[in-house]
Structure 1
Amino acid sequence: MPHSKQIITVLFLFAVSFSLTAQKTDRALPVDPNIKTGKLRNGLRYYIRKNAEPKNRAELRLVVNAGSVLETDKQVGLAHFVEHMAFNGTQHFRKNELVNFLERSGVNFGADLNASTSFDETIYELQVPTDSPMVYKQAMQILEDWSHGISFEPVEIDKERGVIIEEWRLGRGADARLRDKYFPVLFKGSQYAKRLPIGTRANIDTAHYNMLTSFYKDWYRPDLQAVIVVGDVDVEETERMIREHFEKIPAAVNPKKRTRYTIPSHVETRTAILTDAEQPYNVIQVYYMQPEAPVVKTDLQYRSGIVRDLFNQMMSSRLDEISQKPEAPFLFGNSSYGSFIGDKDAFSLIAVAKKGKDIMASIQTLLTENERVRQYGFVQTELDRAVKNTLSRMESLYNERDKTKSAELVQELIGNFLKEEAIPGIAYEYELYQKYLPTVTLAEVNSLVGKWLKTTDRSVVITAPEKEKPALPTQSAVTALLNKPAGKLKPYTDKVSSGPFLPAEPVAGKITGEKKYGNIGTTEWILSNGARVILKPTQFKNDDIQFSAISWGGTSLYSDEDAINAANAAAVASIGGIGNMDIQALQKALTGKNFYVGPSLSPTMQGLNGTSNVKDFESALQLMHGYFVAPRKDPQMYSVMLQQLTVSLENKDKDPGSVFSDSVGYIMSSYHPRRKPFTTADLHRMNLDRSFEIYKERFSNGGQFLFTFVGNFNTDSIRPLIEKYIASLPASAQKDMWRDVGIRYPKGQIEKTIYKGKESKASVRLYFTGTTTYDEMDELQLGQLCKALAIRLREVLREDAGGVYGVGVNGGISREPATEYSISVTFGCAPENVDKLVALVKEEIRKTKQEGIEQNTIDKVIAEQTRALENSLKENSYWRYMLEQQFFRNNDPGKILSGAQRIQQLTVDRTKALANKFFDGQNVAKIVLLPGKN
């Protein structure tokens, strides 16, 4: 054997050789040629990218490189307050004119028009139509106004205080109370420990106007801002508009330094072990802080990120495998490296322990698996699977490169501005993955964990229900466990099954009938087993097929006593695997395949939903076939499922939100036994054999199902696959139908108050219900009425009264088991404001019944829904659902194309008639959650 010194010399020379070679072959990452970038004289940066999906739309962003971390002690919460004021008057849009203008243009407040404030940045979002030059031009004016022209009128500031306080109130609960305690531990010595963006109620309520305007003046300046436009736009014209609007903004004079705050390093292990009466789970977080990874600017730096991602995948897979065993101490476990906060990355160990007494065992398991990797590394089959999955994911992104939504593309440009993240484009990135994935070795992936696990810069946060307090470990015990040598471990054994996951090759059936629907580009097939298949080939996406199967029946066919087993039947099948493969073997067998198939049972029907790329479509059909003919029962996974249910139910009665939601469902079903809140006492009624038997019954007759396929396929090429995997399904002449089990909305005037929770906040739900006859136009226009009422109540309850952060209005007509309608109005508020705000809601309903909705609001609803429909008609998922419903209910599918015309038919008089019909006052329920009395 050569001398050890010779070995070291050889390794050193190899390392030097590799380093020199890498320096020669390493390349700086380019900027995607599809992206136009620039910088104005005042320092403002801009990014423009033409992208045709969705057509005639553009995503606009104003990104401000300033957030709550820059606030002074007197400005706590004011970065977020500034964001709110951007919607309450600017230089060119007084008060609510900005929102009104955009809503009239079809922009949906909250979905297409929004903003967010975090520690380090504030982002304003707009999606606007570009086929209207006037709207697009005004949208650019809005961005400019946000940049330097917010009005800050004192009256509007004072009105907005109430709105922000209600947003703050909504966020209060166990999570917030615990966070208030562990943030100062986790971020000790850092600005991040005391600058939560929402701020404090006291400061929101009392902050002086000049504190607000001072923050705006200091930090909303061109050198800290970027304008980003991605969409169906003319790049040169957009650049001209940006220069016209933003170049005239003067550069800041003597600007304040934009400090980059850090998380100080520390030698000691920081630990926070906390409980709360309303905390539902035992959550463990262990962070090993790391210096922030260098900004990726070269090919080899990009490759390093690929290696870290592979580690994360493999480590997560190992821990998932452990969590799928009944003896595991945790319900969920994860170990991964990623960016954290400020100037730090973190190697994180996260787990949800089953019990308080399992917390130490959970930490030990996480540490042991990481140590096992340190001692033995991963095995080649694990790396092979991770590489396959990664390449498959990147291949799908590459295949959709010209059909990717603008909203997805805009995110990487935000990252480039804020963090200098590379933007080489998916074509270049896919090339890097193809080049580097085959070169990644086990040795380099295995070496990472040894660098990340260390005794310094280590923090532990444990949060648990109050009742678990006696079982919780001490801080010293946790630290001792982290420091305890692991000893020699056994290597990991990767159990991999080979062969097909279908136990038998299907015997193909035939297509016995065909009907074309040329106006909607759809074909209907009748199969030899009686099943119906609806097919619509599209070019909306390059690599996407959406599909479903549906038939009548569902859980209604079983007794009230058996309903619990029926309700869990689909879950039992989902966790069992297929044929001879358990869920772990199935997951490994499907490595590198990009599709999803999942069964479900509702009260009146059963079915499957799925999505697939083009390449793996046959595999998706195989799995769908398997869920019909070869579901698998797995007692071990069922035991895991019971453990998960037990943990989720044990503390459910301590969570005010869960108690309220369960109570509402029970009350609004007229206290039907099938809607009674589920408790741990009900678990003994669950039976694996019975659930599995019910599942097989519901999916035993493939001939009664309607199958719908929409996406990038050719009808001729899909024919043999449909005959093999769907026409081959067993069938019988019997066709099931749902059963009426008697669930109905309550009659009369109902008022219920639930008292639960520590925080001073209320949740209000108003329901207006009744029976009706089904009419398609009624259903459409009831939805429009609810949308219009939501706009009006936002103006009344939020903008005028300052009593809520948001208000929701939803309504619809159900056809099974009886034709009933329901309209709900929901909001959160201060307990003392419940009656006042409910009165305002009822007054707005009264006015609507007398006068109808004003034309201006109707115009907003019609514009928003028309614009939304334009996008929906180019979505596979929309067509899949609409075709399924029209054919399943034997309606005319051609009506799908008349949606735009039907949207236009709403009038003031029609809203008045609808309000009188559906708000007749016969059945009204008011259900309120208030803080506990103790």
Structure 2
Amino acid sequence: MQRIRIVLSLLFASLLATAQDKPLPVAADVKTGKLANGLTYYIRKNQEPKNRAELRLVVNAGSILETDKQVGLAHFVEHMSFNGTANFKKQELVDFLEKSGVNFGADLNAYTGFDETVYELQVPTDSPAVYRKAMQILEDWAHQVSFEPAEIQKERGVIIEEWRLGRGAEARLRDKFFPVILKGSQYAKRIPIGTRANIDTAHANMITGFYKDWYRPDLQAVIVVGDVDIAETEKMIREHFEKIPAAVQPKPRKKYSIPAFTETRTAILTDPEQPYNVIQIYYMQPEIPPAHTELQYRASIVRELFNQMMSSRLDEIAQKPDAPFLFGNSSYGSFIGDKDAFSLLAVAKTGKDIKAAMQTLLTENERVKQYGFVQSELDRAVKASLSRMENLYNERDKIKSAELLQELIRNYLKGESIPGIEYEYELYKKFLPGIRLQEVNSLIAQWIKPANRSVVITAPEKEKTGLITVKEAVALLNKPVGKLKPYQDKVNAGPLLPAEPVAGKVVKEQQYESIGTTEWTLSNGARVILKPTTFKNDDIQLSAISWGGASLYSDAEHANAANAAAIASIGGIGNLDIQSLQKEMAGKNCYIAPSIGLYMQGMSGSSTTKDLETALQLLYGYFAAPRKDEAMFNVMLQQMRAQLVNKDNDPGSVFSDSVSYIMSNYHPRRKPYTTATLQQLNLDRAFEIYKERFSQGGQFLFTIVGNFTTEGIKPLVEKYIASLPAAQKPDNWKDIGLRSPSGVIKKVIRKGKENKASVKIFFTGNAGTYNDLEDLQLSQLCKAMGIRLREILREDAGGVYGVGVSGGISKEPVPEYSISIQFGCAPENVDKLTALVMEEISLVKKQGVAPVNVEKVIAEQTRSLENDVKENSYWRYRLEQAFFRNQDPNRIPEAPAQVKKLTVDKTRELANRFFNEQQMASFILLPELK
């Protein structure tokens, strides 16, 4: 059999080699060019979102190019680019952009990798002045960063806090296994964040030296994608970047490699804060160059199909109670540097299961090696791939600019071809039908080899006794698996629904012409809100919601009520278990997810236009034909147990759970889950609760927004929604007494090994009555406070990497306000930074927020709304909430005007009302005492 497979593989390879091959073109709508100094540029016009452009400065240099004395300084340079340039003094750059509606961190950011540094900027293009200044910012980043000594010193603290924020079990374990699996490679020694010691002490000349050496036009690309004039943009790029002199005697941009090796590199590690038992096996391969011809592109599709099928097999195993792992995956892809890897990954249920999990991974890969996949698996993978590409093709003129520019970045850095979605879709249609099992099956033998093999096993410290040894792990890899049985693709085929619904009728219709919305009342009493849109070509968002939720059940039954939707959804629908349902859904682009909250229950989902009926069948099925599955319930219990058994190892989880419990005034429903909680879960009771919550489809409000027509969707609504049981006695929610605590609370929690602290400060209390505008303005006040505290704690004090401020007013069970302020820092700086926060609160109470920050918040939210109102998800949520809460939906378009009502005086009034120090809770997470 193996000989036949090899012969067939060679035959297919021969046929492909003699087939006509064609180079992949560059998409016609991408303008590319190279300046005389070596700088590359890309421009693509795209109108989603309208009046916006995504700008990137891509530098083909990252931490891999650092010298031993420059460790971490590529990232340091990135930080300094925001701290003063030739045309923008310290803070001027961020100030200018924030006043223009650019959101720091979301629209304005950067990142440093091993091999590249990328600066990100989204700006409005309906203001020519802002757009031109944005291009000046890119030019300044490229060659005119100031590196003022005082700012370098301040920024050390910020970067140290970013480094500190990333410390924990994951970082400690990575520091140990990277030198093992990347031995002899520069990548093992150049983690982009660098080292604490070097960040703290590196001389300024070392920082500026990296910038001078590597920030040069022959290693840079400017990318612009958005609602722009291509000719004008190209002119601007030339004006700004042609004048940058070419590098004189530039250092060669060396490409680093991972040397080949023959031994099996193994790292078996434990850490007291590691929450899971993780197995990673890497079979490193020479990097497959990006596809530049059609046949090379076809080969990449074959690898994609392999990955899909292998993942599906392992997912199926993970969904069995006797599986040794919670999750398993095998796939081929890019690894690091000049290497790809065939990677095997599993999360074992316990430390004792590591060996069995590893054996299962190896066995299933060997099964594919011996027998290959079966035709039904390939058919499903082909369906899924073609459906995905069809959706991308249908949305080709509605894809966001931020998504489109990613392949341009990869083209510059990696040489990835950019033929365009139209061309790629045609290639999928051309090649997918002709891909044969033998081609996919032959891949694994090329990848699984004893050389260039690495194993990494990480586990909680308490699993150390009895953990698999290096010798055992290597022996397991080398041990012949033996002859296996072929995989049986078990499919419980059949319709999604066990019986056809008996259609009801639309009995009443009301139009809301000003917002293009229709309300239907159905014969079963359900209401359906419909808004046809053209925001996307192939997208429909839908939801269902009604009152009740877990509040209708006792505290003793809360665990069953809170998990009932998850328990029902993993059971499948009708006669189809979850595995059969997943296989039946191959090639379908839709999903529906039921949920039960504290005060309400509902469903949410999305669909392409052609799969809308399938989505509504799923929705009907989760209402009328949920399936109870004891085996999957046991799988869920095992997964939850594995998550909970080591949860207390993680300082972040302990802190978060403690804060949540205390801020609920120790309400039993906010008590953190433990393994003992799982004993409360009962399949029969949870399933019964689920059916109770979804037994009266007629009491639900359904909202559907997207690319459909009301006449076209009407028969589907009548068949799958109007057919649901009418509400005999509509439910309401119950007040279970969940409230924030009163008075002043101060708690210090000690957990963790790293020398870092987390601070959370809350202001809570009764808000009296709920008001949409007041809720909005409280959130705006918090946004403005966040801007100012970032300046104080990060830019001035250098004490944090970031600070989060959020706030709002809840509606149920009573109107309560809640404001949270949180940041991470060095333990010794907690008191100082907290004092700075309180000083700023006191100042805002006296003077209100600075006018400039009010201006920034209004600008950013106004710009954000310009995009939001063209999103189906925005309208789905806003319409749902308006109709569900009996508010006037015609007021939804007033949102931009509401945003602009914030004033300095209003911020002062809100601050005095809501920053009540008699209703304040502060929590500090500190490391354990040594």
Q: TM-score, normalised by structure 1?
A: 0.98
User: 2:924 aligns to what SS in structure 1?
Assistant: strand
Task: Answer yes or no: is 1:173 the counterpart of 2:168.
Answer: yes
Q: Which position in structure 2 is the counterpart of 1:79? A: 74
* Distance in 1 between residues matched to 2:657 and 2:14, nearest whole Å: 66
Q: Quote the offset at 1:905 in angstroms.
A: 0.9
* 1:932 and 2:909 aligned: no
Partner of 1:884: 880
Return the match for 1:189 from 177, 184, 191: 184
Letter in 1 for 2:393: Y
Match among 143, 146, 152 for residue 141 of structure 2:
146
Q: Which amino acid aligns with 1:579?
A: G
1:780 aligns with 2:776: yes
Quick one: which of 19, 32, 53 aligns to 1:37? 32
Question: Aligned match of 1:836 in 829, 832, 846?
Answer: 832
1:112 aligns with one of 107, 129, 133: 107
Name the CA distance, whole Å, in 2 between partners of 1:752 and 1:605.
33
Separation (CA, whole Å) in 1 of partners of 2:809 and 2:9: 74
Q: What code does the residue aligned with 2:863 have?
A: R
Matched, 1:860 2:861: no
Judging changes above 3 Å, is the alpha-carbon distance between structure 1 residues 915 and 380 closer, same or farther for their aligned structure 2 residues? same
**Is 1:275 aligned with 2:266?**
no
Partner Cα distance (1:482, 1:873) in 2: 55
Q: How many residues align?
A: 927
Which residue of 12, 15, 19 corresponds with 1:18?
15
**Are the aligned partners of 2:26 and 2:420 in contact in 1 as well (CA < 8 Å)?**
yes
* Residue identity opposite 2:684 in structure 1: D
Instruction: Give the direction of change, closer, same or farther, for the CA distance of 1:10–1:172 in structure 2 (3 Å limit).
Output: closer
| Shift in CA distance, 11/887, structure 1 to aligned 2, threshold 3 Å | closer
Query: Is 2:843 the counterpart of 1:847?
Result: yes
Distance in 1 between residues matched to 2:522 and 2:918, nearest whole Å: 48
1:335: which partner in 2? 330
568-577 or 495-504, which deviates more? 495-504
Q: CA deviation at 1:164?
A: 0.4
Match of 1:413 in 2: 408
- The whole-number CA distance in structure 2 between the counterparts of 1:901 and 1:317 is 49
CA distance in 1, matches of 2:183, 2:770: 61
Q: 1:512 & 1:847 partners in 2: Cα distance?
A: 58
- Give the whole-Å Cα distance in 2 for the aligned partners of 1:647 and 1:868: 40
Letter in 2 for 1:524: E
For residues 266-292 of structure 1, give each alpha carbon's deviation from its aligned partner in whole angstroms, at most 9, with x where no partner exists.
Answer: 000000000000000000000000000
Q: State the AA in 2 paired with 1:842.
A: M
Within 1, Cα distance between the matches of 2:326 and 2:363? 17
Alignment match, 1:912 = 908
Range that drifts further, 361-370 or 459-468: 361-370
In the aligned structure 2, how far is the partner of 1:371 from the partner of 1:738?
Answer: 54
Task: Give the equivalent residue in structure 2 for 1:802.
Answer: 798
Aligned to 1:93: 88
Cα shift readout 1:604-631 (whole Å, capped 9, x = no counterpart): 0000000000000000000000000000
Equivalent in 421, 430, 436 of residue 426 of structure 1: 421
- 1:51 maps to 2:46: yes
Q: For residue 274 of structure 2, what is the amino acid of its counterpart?
A: Q
Return the match for 2:619 from 624, 634, 646: 624
Which runs of structure 2 are paired with 1:509-528 in the superposition (5 Å)? 509-528=504-523
Q: Secondary structure at the match of 1:471?
A: coil
Distance 1:905 1:11, change over 3 A: closer
Query: 2:539 matched to which residue of 1?
Result: 544
CA distance in 2, matches of 1:335, 1:931: 37
Deviation string 1:482-530 (CA, Å, 9 cap, x unpaired) is 0111111000000112221211100000111110000000000001111
SS of aligned partner of 1:764: strand
CA deviations 1:115-137 (Å, max 9, x no partner) are 00010000000000000000000
Aligned to 1:899: 895
User: For 1:665 and 1:122, how far apart are their aligned partners in 2?
Assistant: 38
Tell me which amino acid in the other structure corresponds to 1:198.
Answer: I
SS of the residue 1:561 aligns to: helix
Query: In structure 1, what is the Cα distance between the partners aligned to 2:240 and 2:87?
Result: 13
Give me the whole-angstrom Cα distance separating, in 1, the residues matched to 2:214 and 2:480: 49
Q: Secondary structure at the match of 2:537?
A: coil
Aligned to 1:470, the other structure's residue is in SS state: coil
Aligned equivalent of 2:687, options 688, 692, 695: 692
Q: Distance in 2 between matches of 1:207 and 1:11?
A: 60
Rounded to whole Å, the distance in 2 between the matches of 1:901 and 1:666 is 38
Give 1:10 deviation, angstroms: 9.7
Residues 76-106 of structure 1 show CA distances to partners (whole Å, capped at 9, x for unaligned) of 0000000000000000000000000000000
1:712 is aligned to 2:707: yes
1:573 Cα deviation after fit: 1.0
What value does the CA root-mean-square deviation take over the aligned residues? 1.3
| 1:19, distance to aligned residue in structure 2 (A) | 5.3
Matches within 5 A, 1:601-620: 601-620=596-615
Amino acid paired to 2:450: T
Q: 1:849 to 1:588 in 2, by over 3 A?
A: same
User: What amino acid is the match of 1:830?
Assistant: A
Opposite residue 664 of structure 1, the aligned amino acid is: V
Question: CA 1:14–1:757 in 2, change beyond 3 Å: closer, same or farther?
Answer: closer
Q: Give the aligned residue type for 1:297.
A: H
What letter corresponds to residue 360 of structure 1 in structure 2? Answer: K
Question: Which residue of the partner structure matches residue 372 of structure 2?
Answer: 377
Aligned counterpart, 2:484: 489
Measured after TM superposition, the shift of residue 20 of structure 1 is 5.4
**Identity fraction in percent:** 72
**Partners of 1:95 and 1:79 in 2: CA distance:** 20
Matched, 1:676 2:676: no
TM-superposition CA deviations, 1:804-830 (whole Å, max 9, x none): 000000001001011100000000000
Q: CA deviation at 1:295?
A: 2.4
Q: Is the 8 A contact 2:9 2:438 kept in 1?
A: no
Q: Distance in 2 between matches of 1:194 and 1:172?
A: 17
Q: Residue 818 of structure 1 corresponds to which residue in structure 2?
A: 814
| Aligned-partner Cα distance in 2 for 1:11–1:97 | 65
Residue in 2 that maps onto 1:572: 567
Instruction: Tell me if structure 1 keeps the 8 A contact 2:9–2:442.
Output: no
Aligned with 1:271: secondary structure? Answer: strand
Q: Deviation of residue 733 (structure 1)?
A: 3.0
Task: List aligned pairs for 1:215-230, cutoff 5 A.
Answer: 215-230=210-225
Q: Whole-Å Cα distance in 2 between the matches of residues 788 and 9 of structure 1?
A: 66
Q: What are the superposed Cα offsets for residues 342-364 of structure 1, whole Å, 9 maximum, x if unpaired?
A: 00000000000011111111111
Equivalent positions of 1:390-401 (< 5 A) are 390-401=385-396
Spell out, residue by residue over 1:305-338, the C-alpha distance to the aligned partner (whole angstroms, 9 max, x if none).
0000000000000000000001011000000000
Deviating 4+ runs (over 4 angstroms): 7-17
Cα distance change on mapping 1:20 and 1:791 into 2, 3 Å = closer
Give, in whole Å, the separation in 1 of the partners of 2:44 and 2:466.
56
Q: Which residue of 2 aligns with 1:447?
A: 442
1:17 Cα offset (Å): 5.8
Q: Shift of residue 574 of structure 1?
A: 1.1
Moved more, 86-95 or 911-920: 911-920
Letter in 2 for 1:785: L
Partner residue, 2:867: 871
Residues 17/847 of structure 1: CA separation in 2 closer, same or farther (3 Å cut): closer
Distance 2:225 2:473 in 1: 49
Query: C-alpha displacement at 1:697, in angstroms?
Result: 0.3
Deviations 1:59-80 (A, max 9, x none): 0000000000100010000000
- Distance in 1, Cα, partners of 2:17 & 2:190: 46
The alignment partner of 1:759 has SS state of coil
CA distance in 1, matches of 2:215, 2:10: 53
Provide Cα deviations, 1:182-240, integer angstroms capped at 9, x if missing partner: 00001000000010000011110111000000000000000000000000000000000
Q: Which runs of 5+ in 1 are unaligned?
A: none
Give the whole-Å Cα distance in 1 for the aligned partners of 2:76 and 2:239. Answer: 28
1:123-272 aligned at under 5 Å gives the runs 123-272=118-267
**1:624-682 deviations in Å (ceiling 9; x for gaps):** 00000000010000000000011100001111000000000000000111111111112
Partners in 2 of 1:718 and 1:8 — Cα distance?
49
Structure 2 unaligned spans of 5+: none
